Amino acid sequence: MVAALNETLLDESRVPAVIADVQALIDAEVSDKSGASGLALKGGYGAVKKVGPSIVPDAIEGLLPAFVTKLEPYWQAFTASGEAGFSEYLVARGEEVADSLLGVTDERIEGSDRGAVKKVYSSLRPSAKKNVIEALPRLGALVQKHAN
């Protein structure tokens, strides 16, 4: 039996490295965006990071357990499949995986009483699925690195 992701990715000794790698993944994904929407995303992300340097790592730490829970069934199916790369496995199921992962942030925002946050999220949400799908290769590599 393959170890559950919450036993590996959420192990106290690994969490700091996982959070650092997730932040690096987000930084790289934002940096790769181009065009008007990319400019807007870069501007918004930069503004958030200026407000408080700990906002992004704190958000990652807070959301990580829920994201790991959403990734678990894909990880278990992947390991049983005998396929070589978790990135390719996720990419092949991109729409489904993106919807599953975005369910975490959708639930979190729904429960928020911060109107401004909800407004910003609702404006970014339509492009979020495309952005998550584009991030799946890096995400799969990150999970596989820390889970093995």
Alpha-helical regions (H) of the chain: 5-8, 15-32, 35-51, 55-81, 86-92, 94-110, 115-147
Secondary structure letter of residue 14 according to DSSP? T
What's the pLDDT tens digit per position in 25-41? 999 999 999 998 888 88
Domain boundaries, the chain: 5-147
Q: Which residues of 105-116 are buried (b: 16+ CB within 10 A; e: fewer)?
A: beeeeeeeeeee
pTM of the predicted model over 0.95: no
Q: Return left, alpha or beta for 82; rule: phi > 0 is left, psi -120 to 50 is alpha, else beta.
A: left
What's the pLDDT tens digit per position in 65-86? 999 999 999 999 999 999 999 9
